[in-house]
Structure 1
Amino acid sequence: MGPQEGREAGPPAARRFTWQEIGLRTKPGDPQRQMWLVVDRRVYDVGRFYRRHPGGARILQGHIGEDATDAFHAFHVDCTLVKKFLNSLMIGELASDEPSSEPSKNKQLTEDFRELRATVKKMGLLKPNTFFFLSLLLHILLLETAAWFTIWYFGTSLLPFTASLILLTVSQVQASWLQHDLGHLSVFQKNKWNRLLHKFVMCHLIGASAKWWNLWHSQHHAKPNCYSKDPDINLHPFVFALGKKLSVELGIKKTKYMPYNHQHKYFFITVPPLLFPTYFQYHNFYLVIKKRFWVELACMLSFYIRFFFICGSLLGLNSLAFYLLLRMLESSWFVWVSQMNHLPMDIDYDKNLDWVSSQLQATCNVHQSLFNDWFTGHLNFQIEHHLFPSMPRHNFWKVAPLVKSLCSKHGIEYQCKPLQTAFADILHSLKDAGELWLDAYLHK
C-alpha cells in the first residue's frame, strides 16, 4: 500500500513535522519526552491514551518516535474504524518533503511490502474459511471427549491412563493453536465473534485468560526477539543467556545466575516441561486479579471446576498428578514448537528496523507437510504469520511464494528448514550463546 492510500483529509492548518524534530522530541531518557508516533504520515500524541490501549501500553511505548504504519495495519483488522478514534490524538502530519518512514529505514523494502499487503488484500487472503476453524474446534472437543471416555470405559490402569493423558494433551495443544487464531482475529470476519469464541476456548477449554494472552502476545509480535520488549525472552538472564551480543554482555558483567555454558543441557528439564505448570499458571491468575478481570477469572475457574469434577470422579486422588502431567506434556509440545522459529534467530536490543526486517531477522519457517501444519498449528509458516498476523493460517502457503519473491528482491534470507533441524537449532543456539558467555566471563 502506498503512503497516501487510505488517508483522510487532515485539518486545514495541520502542523508539519520533520523526522528530526520527532526524534528530538521523543528521545529516550528525556524527562520532557513526548509520546509521539506516526501512522500513514500522520503524527499522533498517544500520551493520554497509551495506558488505555486495548493491546496494552507497552506495544505503543515500543513504537514511540517511529513510523508505526505497518504495525498498525498488521494488528488492526478494521483500520478505518480505529482511525476514527485516533483523530482526537492527531497533532499534525509529516512535512511533504519528508519520507513516510524514518530516513534510517529501508524505504524501498517498506514500499514494496505495502504493495504486497495491498495485493494480499485484493486476493482475499485475509478472509477466513470459517468452516476450516469450526472443524478444528470439533476435533478438539472430540479428542477431549475421547480422553474422558477412555478412562470411564477402560478403567484407571496404566494403559488407559496413558492413552487418556495423550488424547487430552493433543486436545489442549490444538486448542492452544485455535485460540491463537482467534486472538489474532483471523477466524471470523466480525471481531465480536472472534473475541467471544476466543474467551470460550482460552478460558473454558484451556483454563487461561484471553486478555492475559492478548497483552502478552501483542508485545511479542510488535518487537519479536527484542530484549526487554518481547516477553517471550523475559527469562533472559535469570535462566538462559540468549543471543550473541547479550550473552557476551552478561559475561563481561560477570553475571552468573545459572551455568549458561550448560544451558543446552538443562533446557530439557526446565522451560519445556515447567513453563505451563509453573510460570504461566501463576502469571495468568496474577494478572487477572491485579487487573480485576473478574469475568475472565470466573470463566477460567469454570475450566478447573469442570476438569477436577470429571477427573476426580474418575481418578480420585490421582487427579492432581494427571493434571500436572497434562500441563507438563502440553508445555513441552508448545515450547519446542514456539521456540524453533525464534530462539535460533537474532536476539538483541531493539534496532528500530522497518517492519519487514524486524520480523524476518527474528523468524524462520519449517517445511510444509500435512503433519507439520497440524502439529504446529501452521506456525511452521512463522514468517508469513509475523508479516500478516491477522491472516487466516490456511492461507499462509498461498502468500509464501510472494514473500519469498520480496525477500529475494531485497537480498534478505528466507529461512526454511526441516522440523528436526528446527528443534536441533534450538539446542545449537543455546550452546553457542553459552560458550560466548563463558569466554567473556573468563577472559574479558
Structure 2
Amino acid sequence: MAPQQDPAQAPPGPRLFTWEEIWLRTKKGDPQRELWLVVDRGVYDVRGFLQRHPGGVRILKSHVGESVTEAFAAFHANKLLVTKFLNSLLIGELAPDQPSFEPSKNKLLVEDFCKLQATVEKMGFMKSNMSFFMLLFFQILLLDAAAWLTFVYFGTSLVPFIVSLVLLTISQVQAKWLQHDLGHLSVFQSTKWNHLLQKFVIGHLIGASARWWTMLHSQHHAKPNCYSKDPDIDMHPYIFALGKTLSVELGKKKIKFMPYNHQHKYFSFTVPPLLIPIYFQWHTVHFTCKKGLWVDLAWMVSFNLRFGFIYGSLLEIKIFNNFFFYLCRMAESSWFVWVSQMNHIPMTIDYDKHLDWFSTQLQATCNVDQSLFNDWFTGHLNFQIEHHLFPRMPRHNYSKVAPLVKSLCAKHGIEYKCKPLLTAFADILRSLKDSGELWLDAYLHK
C-alpha cells in the first residue's frame, strides 16, 4: 500500500477569489490598484504584460476587474499560443461558489451567446473562402493600375484626371476594407500570413502602419462607443458633443470648444474629407516613429516612393501631383468616414456600463440593408452587428450568421437595428443635431 501524503506537505491549491475581492482590489483611483482580469474562471494579473500586449495598454486597462472570456474568444484565433502567455500571468481562480462572470450581468444571455459562439465555430462560419479574398485583392491591383494607365494613354487633361482620380479612390477604399479583413485575421488560417499581407496592403498600397491600425481598432472593438475607452470618439469634446449623457454633461460644465448646436452643419465638410489626409496622415507617422516600428515605416516610405515615381513623371508640375494626391485622400476619407460612422454615431455613446459582450456590441452598432452594392460599397460593414460580435469572422459569412443573431436578440428582447443606406447616412446628422440641442439646453440652463 502506498504511503499516504502528509496533508501539511500537500502542494497548496490555487488561490481562490470572490468577485467582491476582485472589485475591491481593482478599484479605479486606488494607488494600490491591481490589474486583474478573469478569463474562463482564471484570475490573471496583467500588470507585467501591458507593454507586450499587441492591442496595447489601453485595451487591457479598460477591462480591469471584469470577466473577458467572451472578448478573449472573439479576438484570439490561436488559443494555444495565447494560453502560453496567460499561464505566466495566472494568480488564482474564482471560488467554486462564484459565477463565471460578474453577478450583475445577464446570466442567460451570456450563456446563450457562448453557445452561439460554439455553434458558429461548429458550422464553419469562421473559415474563409480564399477565392473571395483573392478576387478582392486583384480588383484593388487592377483599379490601381487602371488609374495610372489612364494618364499614360489619355494624358493629364481634365477628363482623364477625373477618371484616374475615381479609379484610384475606389482602389484605395477597397484596399482599406481588405486590410481590415487581414487585421482581424479573417483571411488566412495562419496569423503570420494575415499580418504579412496586411503590412503590404496597408503599408505599400495605402501608406499607413499596420501596428498603428491594430492598436486603435482593437480598442474600438473592445469598448465601442464608450467614452475614454474607444479611440474613435476621442475627438469628443474638442469637435463634437456625442451622445445624450455626455452632451448634457458638457453643457452643464459650460464647455464650448465648438458651437455644438451647429455640429450637424459643419460635420460634412470637416471630418469626412479631412480625417485621413490631415489627422490620420500625421498620427500614423507620429505613432510609428514614436514606437520605433521601422518595418512599418519602411512599408509607408515604399508607398510614397511608388506614388511619387508613378504619378510624378506624369504630373510633371509638383503642385498638380500633390493636388491629385490630396484630392484622392479627401475622396477616400469621405467615403470611409460616412461608412464607418453610420453604424456607430447614431447609437448609444456613453461611459462604460460594464455590460456583457453581446449587449455592449448591440447597443453601439446597427446594420444597413444587404444588397450587392451595399456589401461592396461598405466592405460588408453594413453587417456591423455581426462583425462586432465575431470580429474574426470572414465577411462573406456575415449574412449566414445574421439570422442566428436576430433570433438571439428576439429571445432576450434586444433591438436588432437595420436600416437603408441613405437613412443610415442621414441618421449621423440627425443624431448630431439632437445631441447638439441637448448640449445647448444644458449650456443655457442656469
What is the CA-CA distance between 1:97 and the residue it aligns to? 1.1
1:114-152 deviation per Cα after TM superposition (whole angstroms, max 9, x unaligned): 000000000000011111111100000000110000111
State how far apart, in whole Å, the 1-side matches of 2:140 and 2:127 are: 23
State the partner residue of 1:4. Answer: none
Which of 395, 415, 431 aligns to 2:433? It is 431
State the partner residue of 1:180. Answer: 180
State how far apart, in whole Å, the 2-side matches of 1:244 and 1:54 are: 33
SS at match of 1:272: helix
1:56 maps to a residue whose letter is G
Moved more, 76-85 or 244-253: 76-85
Matched, 1:289 2:289: yes
What is the CA-CA distance between 1:80 and the residue it aligns to? 2.5
Matched, 1:60 2:60: yes
SS at match of 1:37: strand
State the partner residue of 1:70. Answer: 70
SS at match of 1:86: helix
State how far apart, in whole Å, the 2-side matches of 1:237 and 1:147 are: 39
1:295 maps to a residue whose letter is V
SS at match of 1:440: helix
Inter-CA distance 284–112: structure 2 relative to 1 (3 Å threshold): same
1:407-433 deviation per Cα after TM superposition (whole angstroms, max 9, x unaligned): 000000000000010000000000000
State the partner residue of 1:7. Answer: none
What is the CA-CA distance between 1:316 and the residue it aligns to? 1.7
Which of 414, 428, 432 aligns to 1:412? It is 414
**Identity in percent:** 73
What is the CA-CA distance between 1:85 and the residue it aligns to? 1.5
In the TM superposition, structure 1's runs of 4+ consecutive aligned residues that sit over 6 Å from their partners are none
What is the CA-CA distance between 1:12 and the residue it aligns to? 6.2
What is the CA-CA distance between 1:272 and the residue it aligns to? 0.1
What is the CA-CA distance between 1:81 and the residue it aligns to? 2.2
State how far apart, in whole Å, the 1-side matches of 2:32 and 2:12 are: 28
SS at match of 1:315: coil
Runs (5+) with no aligned partner, structure 1: 1-10
SS at match of 1:186: coil
Indicate the RMSD between aligned Cα atoms, in angstroms: 0.8
State the partner residue of 2:18. Answer: 18
Moved more, 311-320 or 377-386: 311-320
State the partner residue of 1:257. Answer: 257
1:11-36 deviation per Cα after TM superposition (whole angstroms, max 9, x unaligned): 96111111011000000000110000
What is the CA-CA distance between 1:51 and the residue it aligns to? 1.9
State the partner residue of 1:3. Answer: none
1:388 maps to a residue whose letter is F
State how far apart, in whole Å, the 2-side matches of 1:56 and 1:219 are: 8
Query: 1:282-361 to 2 correspondence within 5 Å?
Result: 282-317=282-317, 318-361=320-363
Query: 1:31-430 to 2 correspondence within 5 Å?
Result: 31-317=31-317, 318-430=320-432
1:401 maps to a residue whose letter is P
SS at match of 1:316: coil
SS at match of 1:38: strand
Count of residue pairs the alignment pairs up: 434
Normalising by the residue count of structure 1, what TM-score does the alignment of the two structures yield?
0.97
SS at match of 1:33: coil
SS at match of 2:316: helix
Moved more, 222-231 or 49-58: 49-58
Normalising by the residue count of structure 2, what TM-score does the alignment of the two structures yield?
0.97
State how far apart, in whole Å, the 1-side matches of 2:321 and 2:140 are: 21
1:187-245 deviation per Cα after TM superposition (whole angstroms, max 9, x unaligned): 00011110000000000000000000001100000000001100000110000000000
State how far apart, in whole Å, the 1-side matches of 2:405 and 2:286 are: 40
